[in-house]
Amino acid sequence: MSSSANSPEKDPSFYITTPIYYVNARPHLGHAYSTIVCDAIARRKRSQGYATWFLTGTDEHGQKIERSAAKAGRTPGEFAAAISGEFRGLWDRMGITYDDFIRTTEPRHKRGVQKLFAELKAKGFIYKGSYTGQYCVSDEAFVEVPPGAPCPDCGRTTETISEENYFFKLSAFERRLLEFYEANPGFIEPEARRNEVIAFVRGGLKDLSVSRTSFSWGIPVPGDEKHVVYVWMDALTNYMTALGYGADEPELKARFAKFWPADVHLVGKEIIRFHCVYWPAFLLAAGLPVPRSVVANGWLLFDKAKMSKSVGNIVRAETVLEVLGGDALRYFLLREVSFGHDGNFTFEALVQRYNGDLANGYGNLVSRVVNMVHKYFGGVLPEIAPEAVATGPAEAAIAGQATETILEFGAQFDGMDFSRALETVWALVGAVDGYLTSAAPWKKKPDVADEDFAAMQARVLATAAEAIRVMTGLVHPILPESAAKVWRQLGLGEIEDAAKSGELKQLAWGGLRAGTRFNEPAPLFPRAEKDAVERMENLEKDNTLTAVAAASGTEAVAVAEPVAAAPVVDAVKEAVKHEGIAQIGIDDFVKVELRVAQILVAERVPKADKLLRLEVDLGYEQRQILAGIAQYYAPETLIGRKVVIVANLAPRKMRGLESNGMLLAASVGDEGAPVLAGFLEDVPVGARLR
C-alpha cells in the first residue's frame, strides 16, 4: 500500500477519518483498533509537517439504533447520547488526538445532509419511487435476496419492507465509477478489496433507495418530511459536514476548502462497498471532489470469529488499559496484526508481546542505558573525545543501522505496513542490546587502563543513548506515552514539542549532544505478572454488561442492575434516623446550586476501591466528578442516567484527579449505602432544583 497524501511541499494538509461508530453497542477492541490506527497515522503526519485533521464520531440514526433504544427503555436521543459519550470518553482515556468528534444528531450535520440531498435532487439524480424487498437492519442495507433468506453479508435475518422511497440513480454511475477506479489506482487499498469493488460494479448497479418512511429516527428529507434520509447517505456525509460542508460561517467554509477531499477514509473491510461505490457516486453526482483513498482494515478476531457484540466475543479496551496500559494495546494491535488482514486477539499473545518486546526489549534497554549514564557519569551524557577513542566499527554499525531504520521505518509506516515498521525498529533494539552485551561497559577488564575504560563507557553509552533517541523518535506515533517518558529521561524535554517543531521530521543520527543532563530513570513497562492473563479474563467476566443478542438478531445493550441492589433495597426499609441538624433559611438554601446532570462516562479509578470517575453533561458544560459509590454501583449501569449534582461545590482533588461537584444520594442503613437521587418524569439536563 502506498501513502496517499501528497508531499508536504506540494500540499501541506492531510485529512484522515475513522468510520463513525454505531451507538447501538458499547465500544470494544474492534472499534478501538480502527481508531488507534488513525491516531498513529495522524500523529506521524503531524510530526512530518502536514496540517492534519483527524475526525472520528458516532453514527446515531436509523432503525437499528431506534430499536436498540426501545429495547433499553430509552428514547433514541438519550440512548445515543449515552453510548456516544462512552466512545468519546474511551478515546479521551486512550489519548486519541482527534481534532473533531462528530455526532450525526448534531444540527451542523443535519444541515449538510439536507443540503446534499437537495442538491442531488435538484440535479435530477434523486427521484421518488417505491421499494419492496429485503432489508438487513443490522447492516442497514437493502439486500437482494428472496423473502425469508438471511443477509448475504452478515447472515442475520432480513425483513421484508415495502415503502415509498426516494431513489438515487446509482445505475447511471457504473461506467464513471469504473473509469474513476482505473484513473485512480490508489483509491481503494489494499488491492484485494479493489478487485472486489470493481467486480461488484461490473456486475451491474441498480438504483439505490436513499430514504425510508416506516420509522422516523433520522434526518427528514427536505421538503418531504415523512421521509428520513437513508442512514448510510446520512452517515457517509459526516466526513464533509464535520469540516463545514453546508455551513455559512467563513471559517468553516475555509476549513472545508482546506481539507476536502479526505486523504484517507479508514474503514473495516465489510463496509467497503458503501465507501467505494455509493459514496464516490454521490460525490460525482454532486460535482464534489472524491476522497483520495479508502483503506480497508481487516477484522480483529477473538476465538476465530469477528469480535462483535452480537457474537458475544468482545474484549473491552478498558480491560487492557487497566492491566497493561494504552501503549501496550497500541503496540500489540499494530505489531501483531498484519494491516489489511484479519488478526487474532488473545490475552496470552498480548502478554507475551508485552513482556518480550516492551518490558524485556525496548523498556529494559532504556532503563539499562539511562541507569548507567547516571551511575557512571552522574546523569550527564559524556563527551566522546575523538582523539582518545576513535569511534570503532561496532559504533559505525549501529549508526548505519539506525540511519537505515529511519528510512525503512518511514517507508513501511507510510505504506501502512505497521507490523514491519515496528519489526525494523525492534531489530535495532536487538542490535543495540547485543552491542551493549559485548562491550559490557559495566565490566572493567584488569588489563585495561582506567582512562581507556572510562572512554569506552562514554563511547558505548553515548552510542546506545543516541540509538534510543532515534528509535523513540520513530515509535512516538505508536507509543506516545512511553516515547514522551523516554524523551524526558534523555533530557530532551517534551517529545510533542519536538514533533511540532519539525525536529522529528529531521530525525537523523547524531542529534544527542554531549553534556545533556538526563532525568531520573522512570519505569516504562513493568513486567506483567503471571496472573496478568487471568486478571484480564476476570475483568471481562465481571463485566456485567455482556452483549445480549436480541431475538431479531440486532445488537442490544443490556442494562444491568446496580451491583449491590438487594442490600440497598433492604437498607432503605430500615428506620431512618433524624440527625438533628440545625434549621437554615431559604437564603442559605439557594446558595446551593443543585442541577440535573446526565452521566456520560463512568469508570473505576485505578487502585481506589470506592471511587468512580464520572463525566457528566450539564447541558451548558461537561465536567468530571469523583463519587465514592464504586462498591454500590457498577460503572456501566450509570451511563446515561440522570442524577442530581451540587454544581457549585468548590473543586477538590482526590487521587490526583479533580472533582467538580458532588452527586446527591440518600445514605441508608448502618453502612450509609448510597442510593442515587433521580426522577420519575423525564427532566432536561441542566435543570435547577429549587
Site for ligand MSP in 47-106 (CB under 6 A): 59
Residue 153 or 159: the one with the smaller Cβ distance to ligand MSP is 153
What's the closest the beta carbon of residue 21 comes to ligand MSP, in angstroms?
Answer: 4
| 3-state DSSP assignment of residue 455 | helix
Binding-site size, ligand MSP (CB under 6 A): 21
219 vs 166: CA distance, rounded Å:
14
Residue 31 in the binding site for ligand MSP (CB under 6 A):
yes
* Residue with grid cell 575504560, as numbered in its chain: 453
Residue 33 in the binding site for ligand MSP (CB under 6 A):
yes
Picking from 611, 656, 646, the residue whose alpha carbon sits closest to that of residue 632 is 611
| 3-state DSSP assignment of residue 439 | helix
Residue 476's CB is within 10 A of a number of other CB atoms, namely 25
Residue 268 or 325: the one with the smaller Cβ distance to ligand MSP is 268
Residue 267 in the binding site for ligand MSP (CB under 6 A):
yes
Q: Which stretch binds ligand MSP (CB under 6 A): 25-33, 41-49, 154-162, 446-454?
A: 25-33
What's the closest the beta carbon of residue 24 comes to ligand MSP, in angstroms?
Answer: 8
What's the closest the beta carbon of residue 62 comes to ligand MSP, in angstroms?
Answer: 9
Which alpha helices (DSSP H) does 324-417 contain, by range? 326-336, 347-353, 364-377, 393-414
Residue 247's φ and ψ, nearest 5 degrees, are -95, 155
223 vs 279: CA distance, rounded Å:
23
Helix (H) or strand (E) holding 653: strand 652-654
Picking from 601, 448, 434, the residue whose alpha carbon sits closest to that of residue 93 is 601
Residue 244 or 361: the one with the smaller Cβ distance to ligand MSP is 244
* From candidates 26, 45, 108, 306, binder to ligand MSP by CB under 6 A: 306
Contacts of 321 (CB under 8 A, 6+ apart): 93, 94, 329
* From candidates 308, 310, 482, 543, binder to ligand MSP by CB under 6 A: 308
Residue 91 or 299: the one with the smaller Cβ distance to ligand MSP is 299
**DSSP assignments along 230-299, one per residue:** -HHHHHHTHHHHTTTTT---HHHHHHHHHHPSPSEEEEEGGGHHIIIIIHHHHHHHHT-PPPS-EEEE--
Q: Which stretch binds ligand MSP (CB under 6 A): 13-21, 448-456, 474-482, 667-675?
A: 13-21
What letter does residue 38 receive in the DSSP assignment? H
461 vs 441: CA distance, rounded Å:
8
Residue 19 in the binding site for ligand MSP (CB under 6 A):
yes
Residue 337 in the binding site for ligand MSP (CB under 6 A):
no
What's the closest the beta carbon of residue 22 comes to ligand MSP, in angstroms?
Answer: 4
Residue 499 in the binding site for ligand MSP (CB under 6 A):
no
| 3-state DSSP assignment of residue 661 | coil
Residue 547 in the binding site for ligand MSP (CB under 6 A):
no
What's the closest the beta carbon of residue 58 comes to ligand MSP, in angstroms?
Answer: 8
What's the closest the beta carbon of residue 270 comes to ligand MSP, in angstroms?
Answer: 6
Residue 274 or 633: the one with the smaller Cβ distance to ligand MSP is 274
Q: Which stretch binds ligand MSP (CB under 6 A): 222-230, 264-272, 599-607, 625-633?
A: 264-272
Residue 142 or 299: the one with the smaller Cβ distance to ligand MSP is 299
What's the closest the beta carbon of residue 472 comes to ligand MSP, in angstroms?
Answer: 28
Helix (H) or strand (E) holding 625: strand 622-627
Specify the length of the chain in residues: 690
Q: Are 338 and 300 in contact (CB under 8 A)?
A: no
* From candidates 5, 30, 52, 350, binder to ligand MSP by CB under 6 A: 30
What's the closest the beta carbon of residue 128 comes to ligand MSP, in angstroms?
Answer: 25
Contacts of 577 (CB under 8 A, 6+ apart): none
Residue 36 in the binding site for ligand MSP (CB under 6 A):
no
* Residue with grid cell 419511487, as numbered in its chain: 129
* Residue with grid cell 457517509, as numbered in its chain: 236
Picking from 347, 313, 314, the residue whose alpha carbon sits closest to that of residue 329 is 347
Residue 300 in the binding site for ligand MSP (CB under 6 A):
yes
* From candidates 14, 15, 21, 125, binder to ligand MSP by CB under 6 A: 21
First CA to last CA across the chain, in angstroms?
61
* From candidates 40, 201, 240, 307, binder to ligand MSP by CB under 6 A: 307
| Half-sphere exposure for 567 (CA within 13 Å, toward CB) | 14
Residue 16 or 359: the one with the smaller Cβ distance to ligand MSP is 16
What's the closest the beta carbon of residue 258 comes to ligand MSP, in angstroms?
Answer: 21
What's the closest the beta carbon of residue 622 comes to ligand MSP, in angstroms?
Answer: 23
Residue 372 in the binding site for ligand MSP (CB under 6 A):
no
570 vs 68: CA distance, rounded Å:
32
Contacts of 297 (CB under 8 A, 6+ apart): 33, 34, 37, 266, 267, 268, 269, 339, 340
What's the closest the beta carbon of residue 35 comes to ligand MSP, in angstroms?
Answer: 9
Residue 271 in the binding site for ligand MSP (CB under 6 A):
yes
What letter does residue 150 receive in the DSSP assignment? B
Torsion sign across C-alpha atoms 653, 656, 659, 664: negative
Residue 225 or 270: the one with the smaller Cβ distance to ligand MSP is 270
Q: Which stretch binds ligand MSP (CB under 6 A): 30-38, 80-88, 545-553, 634-642?
A: 30-38
Residue 22 in the binding site for ligand MSP (CB under 6 A):
yes
* From candidates 3, 14, 16, 34, binder to ligand MSP by CB under 6 A: 34
What's the closest the beta carbon of residue 506 comes to ligand MSP, in angstroms?
Answer: 35
Residue type, 522: A
What's the closest the beta carbon of residue 85 comes to ligand MSP, in angstroms?
Answer: 15
* From candidates 36, 82, 197, 235, binder to ligand MSP by CB under 6 A: 235
Residue 290 in the binding site for ligand MSP (CB under 6 A):
no
Q: Which residues bind ligand MSP (CB under 6 A)?
A: 19-22, 30-31, 33-34, 59, 235-236, 238, 267-268, 270-271, 299-300, 306-308
